[in-house]
Each structure stands twice: as C-alpha cells, then as structure tokens.
Amino acid sequence: MSKVISGFSKFSKEEKITWLAANYFSNQQEIIKTLKQYWNEDSALQQLHDDFIENTITNFYMPYGIAPNFVINGKEMVIPMVVEESSVVAAASLVAKFWSTRGGFKASVVSTKKIGQVHFMYQGKKSDLSTYFEAKKPKLLEATAAITKNMEKRGGGILDIQLVDKTDDLSNYYQLFVTFETKDSMGANFINSCLEAMANEFRNESVEIVMSILSNYVPECLVRAEVSCKVEELGGDNPRRFAKKFEQAVKIAAVEPYRAVTHNKGIMNGIDSVVLATGNDFRAIEAGAHAYAAKDGKYKSLTHCEITNGIFKFWIEIPLAVGTVGGLTALHPMAKLSLDMMNRPNARELMEIMATAGLAQNFAALRALTTKGIQHGHMKMHLMNILNQLGANEQQKDCIVKQFENKTVSHSAVVEAFNQLKN
C-alpha cells in the first residue's frame, strides 16, 4: 500500500505525528511519547518554533555552551557555542585563556561586499548587448528603488552592476554581476528581490533570463583574526620546537588537500557553533568558506602561520556573510540572548568574533596534534558520552572517570571497565 500522501501540510501537529508513527514505526506509542517529550511547555514559544519551518512535529535539541576568557581587540567577552561534538567548547575556552595573557586576539574586517547574479542567455552580437546594457543600467537601479530605499538609509544598497561575458565557458551565457552592501543584515531576501526586479526590467525578446540568485561565495566579505607573541612566551618544555612543529603543521595543510579538509573542518567547528547560536546560516557560511579555501585552484588551509625574528604569528582570513538583524536573529529567543551576551555586536563585529572562534579552535587542534595527539583530550571529553550510552549511574560514572584519569580512553576499554564494575 502506497504511503504517498496529499495535504500533509494541512494536518495538525498531532495528526502529522500519528500518521508518521502509524506508517513508519511498529512501536507507535513509544515514538509519539518520544516526539512529544521535546515539545516546549510554553505553547506560545512552541508555536514560534513550529512556524520556523514546514511540517514541524517536534524540536531537536543541541547543547548550548559558553566559552569564557576571550579577549578580542581589547574587549573581554564570553562566546556562545551550539555544537554536539565533545571538546569543542572546552578547547575554545582553554585557548581563549591562553591568549588572554598574551595580548588576546586581534580582528578586523577587510571588506563587506556581497554578490548576486542574473544569469541569462543571449545569441546576438556582444556589441549590441553591451549597448543595450549601458542604456538599461540606470533603469535597473530605478527598478529596485522601492526595495533599496530603507537599506540605503542604513548606508547600504547596490554598489555596482556589471555585464559579464561567460560565453567561453558556456555558449550564449552572460550575467549581470551585482555587488551589494547590506550592513547588519545578512541580506539574502534583499539581494534576491533586487535581482528579480532587475531581471524583469532587463529581459526582452533576445534576452532569456535563466535565473536570478545571490551567491554564497563572498570573497570580498572578508574578515581577519590573528594572535602573536614571542616564541618563548608560548610556554612548555621547548617553545621553539613547538612553534616550529606548529608552523610545519599549518604548511602541510597548505599543500596537502587531504589534510586541509580536516584542518578546515576544525576551524568550522568553532565558527559554525557561533553561527548556530546567533541564528545565522551555517550552510551558506560553510559553502563560502570552503570555496574560498579552493580559490587558487587547489584546496588549502584557511589559516596561516609564520615565525619571524622570534615572533610567532598565527592568523585566519575567511569570508563570512552574517547578520545581526532580520531572520532568526530577530525571532529566536536564544539567538537574541546570544547577541545580548556579546553586547549586541553589529555584523562586522560578529564577523570578527566568529573568525576568532575559528582561529581558537584551530590553534587548539594543532597544539594537541603536534604535542600529545588529538585523541587524548577528545576521548576524555567523550568518556561521559560512552558512559551515558552504557546506562551508567552516577556512582559508576564517578568510579570510571577516576579510573581513567591517567589512562588512555577508548570505547572498548570503557566498556570493559564498566562490565567489570557491574560484576
């Protein structure tokens, strides 16, 4: 019997859950109970969450943690992080404390341009198209005037419109390449509305509009964060040796794509955690960051390191298109709380905070990798997850945590210790 259904979106939440349980689960009552236990008791708050997306049946919880001790451009702050991976928040906190006594993090926004394109096909002479574009360009701006009015009041708007010939890549393919400034808004809806208005104005019997859409590749919406200190101030038994190995690890990620992907994933552990906590679009940021990592034709590290005249310097440059107004940042109570926690940063300041979180995470990972190995700290943090999976009670947890204080944690070793304790 077919399970294809019409009108599912019109069902109540109760009806959606009942249909799901009846058609895809054998333990129907248990599934319904599990889904409902994550409903918020505050009906108004639950309704707010239900309205974020279509066909909502429950909430999916993620840990919300805070990383204290950050000093960014001389300001002390706590950074909120939403992430399920153990050790991410702890690592960021430890690194933040480490650098807080060594001048802290320095961050700055390089540029904030965002990009959108009207993609179209044209089979005539390029000279005729160029003439048509020049004549139409003022009208393209006029067509968007009602949309850009409020943005222009805030200092944003359309920066430029260019005609781009892409016929070497695809026959008859051209585009209107448009740059925007969206200030504290991420600007996706604003950009797309402008592009569609331009497309309607630009099309004629010879110009076939294919699509109008923003780009999540924003190489000119760029932020930089860095740390530096004298090599001797890095501490440890042999700071010079540590600094050199650290530099080598970064250089390996610059030439070896297999390493660079994992290297950059660690950076995004930090960035995505803050992106989620502030209600921004982590998929767009991920896509843009990885495209930027491959901008030279080979996928490379997003961070860089150098040792010059006894000074250790470690930095990141990364494109981050984020917003502090509009979207979920204005709707989600926890997103608003996150921004309040960081003293209501504007979009540029939030870019700096996110880049700093990514740099801190990468420093933590590389420090572990080049010293005692990544698994030592990670598995210590993962120990509690293993014990929860095994159903250990508090007394058993305390006993096993003490047992592994000076031992390497592995899943099999924890299981063996738990079974021995039970017996």
Q: Which residues of 212-247 are buried (b: 16+ CB within 10 A; e: fewer)?
A: bebbbbbeebbbbbbbbbebeebeeeebeebbeebb
The sheet with strand 311-319 has its strands ordered as 106-112, 221-230, 311-319, 303-308
Q: Are 289 and 281 in contact (CB under 8 A)?
A: no
Residues 342 and 258 in one domain: yes
Total structural domains within the chain: 4
pLDDT, tens digit, 9 for 90 and up, residues 314-342: 999 999 999 999 888 888 999 999 999 99
Residue 15 designated active-site: no
Distance CA 185, CA 192 (A): 13
Beta bridge partners of 230: 311
Distance CA 132, CA 36 (A): 59
Q: Are 148 and 180 in contact (CB under 8 A)?
A: no
Q: Which residues of 155-166 are buried (b: 16+ CB within 10 A; e: fewer)?
A: ebbbeebebeee
User: What single-letter amino acid sits at 358?
Assistant: G
Strands 221-230 and 106-112: antiparallel
Residues 188 and 265 in one domain: no
Q: Are 220 and 116 in contact (CB under 8 A)?
A: no
Q: Are 107 and 355 in contact (CB under 8 A)?
A: yes
Q: How far is CA 54 from CA 46, 151, 180, 238, 333, in A?
A: 14, 29, 30, 56, 19
Beta bridge partners of 122: 207
Helix ranges (H only) for 220-256 are: 239-255
Residue 66 maps to a domain: no
Write down the catalytic residue from 181, 226, 272, 281.
281
Distance CA 17, CA 319 (A): 40
Q: Are 99 and 227 in contact (CB under 8 A)?
A: yes
Strands (E), 73-191: 75-82, 106-112, 114-122, 157-165, 173-181
Q: What is the DSSP string of 43-66?
A: HHHHHHHHTTSTT--S-----EEE
SS3 236: coil
Q: Are 63 and 276 in contact (CB under 8 A)?
A: no
Q: Tokens standing for 256? A: 């070896």
Residues 131 and 182 in one domain: yes
Residues 239 and 289 in one domain: yes
Residues 356 and 235 in one domain: yes
Residues 226 and 101 in one domain: yes
Q: What is the CATH number of the domain that holds 241?
A: 3.90.770.10
Residue 324 has phi, psi (to 5 degrees) of -120, 0
Q: Tokens standing for 335? A: 């997103």
Distance CA 24, CA 313 (A): 55
Write down the catalytic residue from 119, 183, 378, 382.
378
SS3 63: coil
Q: Are 282 and 272 in contact (CB under 8 A)?
A: yes
Residues 244 and 325 in one domain: yes
Q: Which residues of the chain have pLDDT under 50?
A: none
CB-count exposure of residue 83 (10 Å: 0-12, 13-18, 19+) = buried
**Residues spanned by the domain of 21:** 8-50
Write down the catalytic residue from 49, 166, 265, 290.
265
Q: What is the DSSP string of 346-383?
A: -HHHHHHHHHHHHHHHHHHHHHHHTTT-HHHHHHHHHH
Q: Which of 214, 236, 257 is the last residue of a domain?
A: 214
Residues 330 and 400 in one domain: no
Residue 378 designated active-site: yes
Write down the catalytic residue from 13, 49, 85, 332.
85
Rounded to two decimals, the pTM is: 0.89
Q: What pLDDT is stored for residue 42 in this prediction?
A: 94
Strands 221-230 and 311-319: antiparallel
Q: What pLDDT is stored for residue 329 in this prediction?
A: 85
Residue 65 maps to a domain: no
* DSSP run (H or E) holding 70: strand 64-72
Residues 228 and 339 in one domain: yes
Residues 234 and 131 in one domain: no
Residues 285 and 330 in one domain: yes
Q: What pLDDT is stored for residue 353 in this prediction?
A: 98
Residue 64 maps to a domain: no
Distance CA 174, CA 189 (A): 23
